[in-house]
C-alpha cells in the first residue's frame, strides 16, 4: 500500500514536466499550435520520442520501453497540466494499445516501432455516428476480403495519422480490427472545440489489412484497451483540474475588486475549498484506478475505469465550471488559458463515456456485492 | 505506487477481523448492525472487550496501552472495527481526554486516570461548548477562580453528549478574563458528582435524549485537577481537536449502512433505476473518500498530516448524512412510524430519527463551514 512515486517515477515526472512545461510555458504557443494543422507541435512530438515516451507502454521487443501504467499515467497527467495538444492519449495509449494487444509480432514491431521513434502517428477509427461508447463496430463493415465500408467520426487526429487502426463488423459476426495506411479512406479533418483535431472518415470498399489473425472477434480486447484509455484520460483530466484550481487560487489572491483582492470574500474562498475537495477525492480514485491496471484482471480494470470515469466526469464539470465562474469574464476568452482547460475537460468527459454511461455500467452489477473493498480488487488481481 | 497491502499488514488485517468477530459480544454487534441504540452497559462492555485485547487505545503512548502502530494500521483497525459492527471506543475517553492527559498531565494524573479511561471505568464527558461559544470556542465564559487549594467554577456548558452517563467531565474554563481570549483559558477535570454540578437533558428533534446542559454553581475543584499550566488550556484544546487524523471520516460505518440498505430494500431497488443510480453514486463517492483516507494514512513519513486529510471530515459527514437520507427514502411511507413502539421490529422505524440525528455530524467537531475555512485558508492560502 503506497500512493507515492519512487525515485525513477519522480524523475520521469520531472523530465516530462521539463519538456512539455517548457514547450507550453507561454500559453500563446499552445494557442498558435492549435490554430495550425496538424494541431500539435511536431518538434515536441519528436522530443517526446527521443525521451522514450512514445514507446513507453510497449515491450522492448516491439521497439518500446516496457513501462507500466503508473509511468503512462504520469505522462498523461503532465500533458494535461499544460494542455499539451500532442496525441499521446489517442495515438500511443489508445491506438498503440490495440496494436500491442491484438497485432501479430511483425505488425507490432513495424507499427509500434515507427510510433515509438516518432516516425508515424497512429489513430483509432472506432466511433460511428448514432452509437454511444460501445466496444463494437456496427455500421462500418468488413467484407470477406477485408475491404471496409462505412463512416467513422470523431477520430482523433484521423486526418494526420500515418497509420490508422479501424474497427469493423465482421462478415461472420463480432468486431475485427484492421490497419489502413497510405491515406486510405476519405478523410475530412476538423478542429475540436478545445483546439484538438478529429476527422470524419468515409470508407468505400477501402483496402485494409487485418490486425492480428483475420476474422477473429476482438471486442473484449477493444473493451479492455478502452478501459485503460479511460483511466489514462482520467490522469490527463486530473492534471488539468490541478492546474485550474491552482490558477483559480492565484487569481483570487491577486485580482482586486472593491479595492481588495478577491480572497477577502468568503463566498468565493468556500467555493475554492469545494474545488479542492473534488480535486483530492479525484486524485485518490485516479491513483487507485491506475494501480488496478498494474496487474488487475480485465474485470477489475473495467470496474476501476467506470468508477474513475464517473468521478472524473463529476469533478471535471465541477472544477471546470467553477474555475470559469471564480475568474469571471476573463476565463471566457480564448486568449486566457483557464477556459480552454474547461473545454478540454469536456472533450475528455465525452471521449469514452460520461457519468451517465458509467453509472449504467456500474448499475449492472450493483446487487452482486455488498460493499466495495478497494484493497480486495488488488487481491483478486 | 502499489495497491496491495504488505504481507505484514495483510496479516494484521486478518488479526483485527478475527478479534472483532470473535471477542466482541455478538449481541452488541447485532445491535449496531441493526441500527438500534446501545445501552450504557453495552458501550462499556464493548470497550472493555477491546481493551482486554489491547485494541481500545492503540494510538496512545505505548507506556499507557498504545501499540506503536503505523497510521495505516490504525486505519485498518478503525475500518475493520466498523465493518464488524463493533462500536468504536468512546471518543471522549479514547480520542479526546486520554491523549491530552498522556501528553500534558502530571505523573499522578496519568496514573490516576489513564488506566481507568482506557477501560471505561471512568466515563468522560466533554465540557467545551457553551451557549455563546460554539464554533468560536475561545469565546467561552464559564469561570474558575482560585480559592486556596480549589478552583471555584461557575457557568454553563452545553451539547454535552451522553452527559447523563458521565462520571467526570473535562472542561475549558476562563481563568483570566483580562487577556486575549485564547490566553485566559485553562483545562480542568471535574468530578460530576461534585456539589453544585447539575446535568439537565436537552430533547432533540429525533425524539431522543443524547445531549445535555451542564450547570456549575460554585463547584469546588482541587487545584491538582488542572491539566497543564494555568492559562495554557487553549494549547490542550488545540491538541485535542487536532490530533485525530485517523478516523475522522466514518467510512466503514457508512459503507456498512449502505450495504445493509441494498439488502433490506432489494425489492424496491430492483424496480427503481433512480434509486440504483443514487446508490451507485454514493458508493463511488464513499470509495473516493475511503481511498483518500488510505492515501492520508499511507503517507505517514515526516509526521506532518497530508493536506488531503482536511477533506475527510467534510466529505465523510456529507456522505454519512446522504446515506441516512437514502435509507429514509427507501423506506418511504414505512418510515412514518419512525420512533414508535418497539424499535427492534423494523429497520425503517429507526431510519428517520437516525437521519435527523445525523444532521449534527456537519456541525460538531468543527462545522463543515469551519472545515472549508481550514481548507481555503490553511491549505489554499486564501
B236 falls within a domain: no
Residue B54 forms part of a structural domain: yes
- Shortest distance, CA B249 to any CA of chain A (angstroms): 13
Q: Where are the alpha helices (DSSP H) in B332-376?
A: 351-357, 368-373
- Which of B287, B322, B366 has the highest number of chain A CBs within 10 A, making it the mutation to test binding with A? B287
Q: Which of B255, B286, B295 sits opposite A3 (nearest CB)?
A: B295
pLDDT digits (tens, 9 = 90+) for A112-132: 999 999 999 999 999 999 999
Please count the structural domains in chain B. 3
Query: Is pLDDT at A269 greater than 70 in this prediction?
Result: yes
Can you give the CATH number for the domain in which B152 is found? Answer: 2.40.110.10
> Among residues A185, A210, A235, which one ends one of the domains?
A210
Q: Where are the beta strands (DSSP E) in chain B?
A: 124-127, 143-147, 150-157, 168-174, 185-191, 197-202, 211-222, 226-227
Question: Can you say how many angstroms the Cα of residue B106 is from the centroid of all Cα atoms in its chain?
Answer: 25
Let me know whether A133 and A274 are in one domain.
no
Interface test mutation site (partner B, options A6, A74, A264, A371, max chain B beta carbons within 10 A): A371
The domain of B33 spans 7-89
Does residue B62 carry a catalytic annotation?
Answer: no
Say yes or no: A170 and A258 in one domain.
no
Instruction: Evaluate whether residue A253 is within a structural domain.
Output: yes
Residues B276, B161, single domain; the answer is no
- Residues A107, A250 within the same domain: no
Tally C-beta pairs within 8 A across A and B.
150
Distance CA(B28)–CA(B32), nearest Å, equals: 6
Among B32, B53, B33, residue whose Cα is nearest residue B43: B32
Looking at residue B342, its pLDDT comes to 56
Is residue B186 within 8 A of residue B232, CB to CB? The reply is yes
Query: Is residue A204 less than 8 Å (CB to CB) from chain B?
Result: no
Instruction: Residue B377: list chain A partners with CB under 8 A.
Output: 269
Q: What gap in Å lies between CA A54 and CA A42, rounded to an integer? A: 13
What value does the mean pLDDT take over residues B134-151? 96
Decide if B112 contacts B118 (C-beta within 8 A): no
Average pLDDT of B160-169? 97
Residue that finishes a domain, picked among B197, B231, B265:
B231
**B202 vs chain A: nearest CA distance in angstroms?**
32
The helix/strand/coil state of B168 is strand
Q: Name the residue of chain B whose CA is nearest to A287's CA.
A: B1
pLDDT surpasses 70 at B344 = no
pLDDT for B300: 61
- Minimal-distance CA residue of chain A relative to B313: A277
- Do B275 and B249 fall into the same domain? yes
The residue of chain B with its CA nearest to that of A285 is B288
- At residue B334, the pLDDT reads 84
| Residue B98 located in a structural domain | no
In a domain, B81, yes or no: yes
CB-nearest to B3 from A276, A292, A372 is A292
Is residue A47 domain-resident?
yes
- What's residue B247's pLDDT? 61
Q: What is the pLDDT of residue B109?
A: 98
Q: What is the model's pLDDT at position B302?
A: 54
Nearest one of B24, B124, B31 to B80, comparing CA atoms: B24
Range with the lowest mean pLDDT among A232-236, A294-298, B321-325, B345-349?
B345-349
For residue A119, the 8-state DSSP code is S
Q: What is the pLDDT of residue B297?
A: 86
Which residues of B fall within a CB distance of 8 Å from A282? 288
Helix, strand, coil in percent for chain B, rounding step 5: 55, 15, 30
Measure CB to CB from residue B287 to each of A4, A273, A285 and give the nearest one. A285
Q: Where are the beta strands (DSSP E) in B8-149?
A: 124-127, 143-147
A171 and A261 belong to one structural domain: no
Tens-digit pLDDT profile for residues B263-296: 999 999 999 999 999 999 999 999 999 999 999 8
**Nearest-CA distance B177 → chain A (Å):** 30
**B268/chain A closest Cα distance in angstroms:** 12
Task: Please compute the mean of the pLDDT values over residues A169-196 and round it to a whole number.
Answer: 96
Catalytic residue among B23, B244, B318, B325: B244
Helix ranges restricted to H, B210-357: 233-242, 251-264, 266-271, 273-298, 310-331, 351-357
What chain A residue is nearest to B80 in terms of C-alpha separation?
A: A373
Q: Are residues B207 and B255 in the same domain?
A: no
Give the CATH number for residue A252. Answer: 1.20.140.10
Q: What is the pLDDT of residue A381?
A: 39
Provide ipTM, 2 decimals.
0.96
Contact: A274, B380; criterion CB under 8 Å:
no
Tell whether A230 and A344 lie within a shared domain.
Answer: yes
Distance CA(B269)–CA(B246), nearest Å, equals 33
Among the candidates A166, A188, A210, a domain finishes at: A210
Instruction: Render pLDDT for A7-60 as a digit per residue (tens, 0 to 9).
Output: 999 999 999 999 999 999 999 999 999 999 999 999 999 999 999 999 999 999
**Does residue B114 form part of some domain?**
no
| pLDDT tens, position by position, A316-361 | 999 999 999 999 999 999 999 999 999 999 999 999 999 999 999 9
pLDDT band per the 50, 70, 90 thresholds, residue B242:
confident
Residue A2 belongs to a domain? no
- Check CB contact under 8 Å for A276 and B380: yes
Last residue of a domain, one of A183, A210, A237: A210
Kindly indicate the confidence band of residue B303, based on its pLDDT and cuts at 50, 70 and 90.
Answer: low
**Within-domain flag for B96:** no
**What cell numbers appear for B202 in the block?**
436537552
**Whether residue B293 sits in one domain with residue B254:** yes
Q: Are B127 and B171 in contact (CB under 8 A)?
A: yes
3-state secondary structure of A200: strand
Range with lowest mean pLDDT among A118-132, A318-332, B221-235, B350-364: B350-364
Do A152 and A71 lie in one domain? The reply is no
Q: What is the pTM of this model?
A: 0.95
The total number of structural domains that make up chain A: 3
Range of the domain at A56: 7-116
Q: What percent of chain A has pLDDT over 90?
A: 97
DSSP string, B43-61: HHHHHHHHHHTT-SSTTS-
CB contact under 8 A, B284 and A1: no
B198 and B249, same structural domain?
no
Q: Are residues B281 and B350 in the same domain?
A: yes
B291, B311, B376 member nearest A269 (Cβ): B376
Q: What is the domain-level CATH number for residue A127?
A: 2.40.110.10
Residue of A nearest to B284 (CA): A307
Whether A126 and A112 share a structural domain: no
CB atoms A281 and B273 under 8 Å: no
Mutate to test the interface with A, among B273, B280, B367 (most CBs of A within 10 A): B280
Last residue of a domain, one of B185, B204, B231: B231
Question: pLDDT tens digit string along A77-107?
Answer: 999 999 999 999 999 999 999 999 999 999 9
Distance CA A370, CA A381 (A): 19
Average pLDDT, rounded, for chain A: 96
Task: Assign residue B298 the CATH number of its domain.
Answer: 1.20.140.10
Q: How many residues does chain B have?
A: 382
Query: Distance from B380 to chain A by nearest Cα, in Å?
Result: 7
Q: Are residues A347 and A202 in the same domain?
A: no
- Shared domain for B323 and B297, answered yes or no, is yes
- What share of chain B in percent tops pLDDT 70? 95
A147 and A188 belong to one structural domain: yes
Cβ separation A1–B9 shorter than 8 A: yes
Distance (Å) from the C-alpha of residue B20 to the closest C-alpha of chain A?
Answer: 18
Q: What is the mean pLDDT of residues B28-47?
A: 94
Domain-embedded: residue B104: no
Are A229 and A376 within one domain?
A: yes
Query: How far apart (Å, rounded) are the C-alpha atoms in residues A14 and B311?
Result: 28
Same domain for B199 and B161, yes or no, is yes
Q: Do both B368 and B255 map to the same domain?
A: yes
Cβ separation B308–A280 shorter than 8 A:
yes
Q: What is the pLDDT of residue A380?
A: 47
Distances (CA, A) of B31 to A37, B26, B37, B330, B334: 67, 9, 7, 21, 21
Final residue in a domain of this structure, among B231, B266, B298:
B231
Residues B63 and B182 in one domain: no
Same domain assignment for residues A85 and A191: no
* Same domain, yes or no: B258 and B216: no
Distance of alpha carbon B9 from alpha carbon A329, whole angstroms: 52
| B65, burial (CB in 10 Å: exposed 0-12, middle 13-18, buried 19+) | buried
Pairing of strands B185-191, A260-261: unpaired
The answer to the question of residue A255 being in a domain is: yes
Q: How far is the CA of B88 from the CAs of A334, B94, B259, in angstroms?
A: 53, 9, 19
pLDDT digits (tens, 9 = 90+) for B56-98: 999 999 999 999 999 899 999 999 999 999 999 999 999 999 9
Asked if residue B110 is part of any domain, the answer here is no
Q: What is the mean pLDDT of residues B208-235?
A: 97
A152 and A60 share one domain: no
CATH of the domain at A60: 1.10.540.10
- Is the Cβ of A251 closer than 8 Å to some Cβ of chain B? no
Instruction: Verify whether the Cβ–Cβ distance B380 to A280 is below 8 Å.
Output: no
DSSP string, A327-345: H-GGGGSSSSHHHHHHHHH
Contact B311 A281 (CB under 8 A): yes
The pLDDT of residue B93: 97
The answer to whether the Cβ–Cβ distance between A311 and B284 falls below 8 Å is: yes
Q: Does A136 touch chain B (CB under 8 A)?
A: no
Q: Under an 8 A CB cutoff, do A280 and B287 touch? A: no
Q: Tell me whether residue A39 is in a domain.
A: yes
Question: Same domain for B270 and B221?
Answer: no
Amino acid at each position: 500500500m503506497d500512493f507515492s512515486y519512487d525515485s525513477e517515477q519522480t524523475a520521469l515526472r520531472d523530465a516530462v514536466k521539463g519538456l512539455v512545461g517548457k514547450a507550453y510555458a507561454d500559453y500563446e504557443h499552445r494557442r498558435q499550435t492549435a490554430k495550425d494543422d496538424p494541431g500539435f507541435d511536431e518538434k515536441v512530438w519528436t522530443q517526446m520520442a527521443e525521451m522514450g515516451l512514445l514507446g513507453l507502454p510497449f515491450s522492448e521487443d516491439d521497439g518500446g520501453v516496457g513501462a507500466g501504467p503508473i509511468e503512462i499515467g504520469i505522462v498523461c497527467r503532465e500533458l494535461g497540466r499544460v494542455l499539451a495538444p500532442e496525441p499521446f492519449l489517442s495515438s500511443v495509449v489508445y491506438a498503440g494499445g490495440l496494436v500491442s494487444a491484438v497485432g501479430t509480432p511483425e505488425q507490432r514491431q513495424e507499427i509500434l516501432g515507427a510510433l515509438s521513434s516518432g516516425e508515424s502517428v497512429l489513430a483509432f477509427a472506432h466511433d460511428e455516428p448514432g452509437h454511444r461508447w460501445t466496444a463494437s463496430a456496427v455500421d462500418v463493415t468488413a467484407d470477406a476480403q477485408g475491404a471496409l465500408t462505412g463512416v467513422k467520426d470523431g477520430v482523433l487526429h484521423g486526418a494526420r495519422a500515418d497509420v490508422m487502426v479501424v474497427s469493423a463488423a465482421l462478415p461472420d459476426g463480432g468486431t475485427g480490427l484492421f490497419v489502413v495506411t497510405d491515406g486510405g479512406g476519405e478523410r475530412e479533418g476538423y478542429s475540436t472545440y478545445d483546439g484538438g483535431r478529429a476527422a470524419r472518415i468515409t470508407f468505400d470498399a477501402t483496402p485494409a489489412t487485418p490486425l492480428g489473425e483475420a476474422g477473429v472477434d476482438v471486442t473484449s480486447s477493444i473493451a479492455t484497451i478502452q478501459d485503460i484509455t479511460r483511466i489514462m484520460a482520467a490522469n490527463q483530466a486530473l492534471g488539468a483540474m490541478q492546474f485550474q484550481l491552482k490558477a483559480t487560487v492565484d487569481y483570487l489572491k491577486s485580482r482586486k475588486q472593491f479595492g481588495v483582492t478577491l480572497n477577502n470574500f468568503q463566498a468565493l474562498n468556500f467555493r475554492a475549498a469545494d474545488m479542492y475537495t473534488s480535486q483530492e477525492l479525484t486524485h485518490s480514485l485516479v491513483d487507485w484506478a491506475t494501480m488496478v491496471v498494474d496487474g488487475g484482471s480485465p474485470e477489475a480494470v473495467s470496474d476501476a475505469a467506470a468508477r474513475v470515469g464517473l468521478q472524473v466526469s463529476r469533478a471535471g464539470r465541477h472544477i471546470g465550471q467553477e474555475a470559469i465562474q471564480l475568474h469571471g469574464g476573463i476565463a471566457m476568452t480564448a486568449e486566457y488559458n483557464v477556459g480552454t482547460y474547461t473545454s478540454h475537460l469536456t472533450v475528455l468527459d465525452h471521449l469514452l463515456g460520461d457519468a451517465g454511461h458509467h453509472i449504467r455500467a456500474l448499475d449492472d452489477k450493483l446487487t452482486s456485492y455488498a460493499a466495495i473493498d478497494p484493497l480486495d480488487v488488488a487481491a483478486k488481481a | 505506487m502499489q495497491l496491495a497491502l504488505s504481507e505484514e499488514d495483510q496479516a494484521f488485517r486478518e488479526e483485527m477481523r478475527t478479534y472483532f468477530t470473535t471477542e466482541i459480544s455478538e449481541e452488541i454487534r447485532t445491535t449496531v448492525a441493526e441500527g438500534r441504540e446501545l445501552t450504557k452497559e453495552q458501550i462499556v462492555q464493548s470497550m472493555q472487550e477491546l481493551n482486554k485485547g489491547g485494541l481500545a487505545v492503540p494510538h496512545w503512548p505505548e507506556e499507557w496501552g498504545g501499540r506503536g502502530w503505523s497510521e495505516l494500521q490504525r486505519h485498518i483497525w478503525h475500518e475493520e472495527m466498523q465493518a464488524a459492527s463493533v462500536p468504536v471506543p468512546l471518543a471522549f475517553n479514547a480520542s479526546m481526554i486520554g491523549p491530552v492527559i498522556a501528553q500534558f498531565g502530571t505523573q499522578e494524573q496519568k496514573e490516576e486516570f489513564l488506566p481507568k479511561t482506557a477501560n471505561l471505568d471512568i466515563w468522560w464527558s466533554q465540557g467545551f461548548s457553551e451557549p455563546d461559544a460554539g464554533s468560536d470556542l475561545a469565546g467561552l465564559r464559564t469561570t474558575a477562580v482560585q480559592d486556596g487549594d480549589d478552583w471555584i467554577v461557575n457557568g454553563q456548558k452545553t451539547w454535552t453528549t451522553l452527559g447523563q452517563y458521565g462520571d467526570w467531565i473535562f472542561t475549558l474554563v476562563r481563568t483570566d478574563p483580562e487577556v486575549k481570549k485564547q490566553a485566559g483559558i485553562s483545562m480542568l477535570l471535574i468530578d460530576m458528582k461534585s456539589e453544585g454540578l447539575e446535568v439537565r437533558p436537552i430533547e432533540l428533534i429525533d425524539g431522543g435524549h443524547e445531549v445535555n446542559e451542564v450547570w456549575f454553581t460554585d463547584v469546588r475543584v482541587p487545584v491538582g485537577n488542572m491539566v497543564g499550566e494555568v492559562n495554557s488550556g487553549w494549547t490542550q484544546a488545540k491538541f485535542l481537536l487536532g490530533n485525530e487524523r485517523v478516523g475522522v471520516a466514518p467510512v466503514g460505518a457508512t459503507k456498512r449502512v449502505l450495504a445493509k440498505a441494498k439488502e433490506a430494500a432489494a425489492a424496491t431497488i430492483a424496480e427503481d433505476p433512480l434509486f440504483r443510480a443514487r446508490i451507485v453514486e454514493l458508493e463511488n463517492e464513499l470509495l473516493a473518500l475511503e481511498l483518500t483516507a488510505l492515501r492520508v494514512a499511507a503517507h505517514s513519513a515526516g509526521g506532518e498530516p497530508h493536506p488531503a486529510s482536511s477533506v475527510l471530515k467534510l466529505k465523510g459527514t456529507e456522505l454519512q448524512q446522504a446515506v441516512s437520507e437514502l435509507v429514509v427514502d427507501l423506506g418511504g411511507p414505512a418510515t412514518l412510524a419512525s420512533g414508535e413502539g418497539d424499535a427492534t421490529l423494523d429497520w425503517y422505524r429507526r431510519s428517520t430519527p437516525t437521519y435527523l440525528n445525523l444532521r449534527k455530524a456537519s456541525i460538531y467537531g468543527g462545522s463543515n463551514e469551519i472545515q472549508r475555512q481550514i481548507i481555503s485558508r490553511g491549505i489554499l492560502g486564501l
